[in-house]
Amino acid sequence: MDMGLWVTWYDLPIEGEAEYLAWFHEKYIPEMSSRPGFLWGAHYELLGRGKSQEINPHVKYADDTSIPSGTEFVAMFGGESTYTFMNPSLAHIVENQSTETREMLGRRIGERTCIFAEELRLDGPESAQRTPGSVPGPVIQIGSFNLESAEDELEMGTWYAQLRLPSLERMHGCIGVRKLISSSGWAKHSIFYELISEEVLEHFPGIKLLQGAEREWSIKVVGTLDHAPGSPTVAKRIWPPV
């Protein structure tokens, strides 16, 4: 079971992008996935990349310019646990990489990395499309954020448990959802949705589809989250091919 996730957000320069992607998909992901404890590797590209992203008025971003701002690509590796990525550590892996690997990874812009442990996993109506130990779904939405107080964290957890997560369990086109907690990286919390297609996003139970007390509660909770740049990231899988 992939209880640990190593997630990296980053941008790429247009020049040399095709070369990088071919190398990353055909060489780097297979090499890393063959390491002890690694179960899979996947690569995602931001939906609507290069276009103006819709601004959600309810999403608040962290006021910290030191947080790397990459959003165009999301590289993900699943491991048996977070310690898969700590023995050896990612820093030690980097020290022993080839010149080619260092040059290719050095092309990344605004790279931001977190190692997450799975706190909770729920299956959606399309869960049969994911086999144990396989890569996540064709489309993902992953949010990463912090909160200012323990009280806000408890309220957020209650909201997820009582409102948001049950709605995803019933949502058409949802493969599953995972609540993640960080072992390493800027964001302490993450929410990770797996979907069968981007069309499913029209049914996503966001604030704009809620009414009454559920809407008010959602606005209150979402307003306490300090998101990383570009969060939540909505992306399509480009490797392995869909």
Residue keyed to tokens 């990463």: 144
First to last CA, the chain: 22
What are the tens digits of pLDDT across the range 43-56?
999 998 866 666 77
Strand partners, 174: 195
Please report the pLDDT score of residue 52 as a whole number.
Answer: 60
Could you give the domains of the chain? 4-239 (3.30.70.100)
- Greater pLDDT, 41 or 96: 41
Sign of CA dihedral 117, 46, 155, 177: negative
Please report the pLDDT score of residue 131 as a whole number.
Answer: 72
- For range 3-32, the mean pLDDT: 97
Grouping H, G, I as helix, E, B as strand and the rest as coil, residue 37 is: coil
- Greater pLDDT, 152 or 129: 152
Least confident of 24-38, 56-70, 185-199: 56-70
Q: What Rg, from alpha-carbon coordinates, does the chain have?
A: 18
pLDDT above 90: residue 1: no
**How would DSSP label each residue in 122-184?**
EE-TTGGGS-TT----SEEEEEEEE-S-HHHHHHHHHHIIIIIHHHHHH-TTEEEEEEEEEEE
**pTM exceeds cut of 0.85:** yes
Could you give the CA distance from residue 148 to residue 167 in angstroms, rounded to a whole number?
26
Least confident of 18-32, 91-105, 144-158: 91-105
- For range 36-40, the mean pLDDT: 96
What are the tens digits of pLDDT across the range 183-229?
999 999 999 999 999 999 888 887 777 889 999 999 999 999 999 99
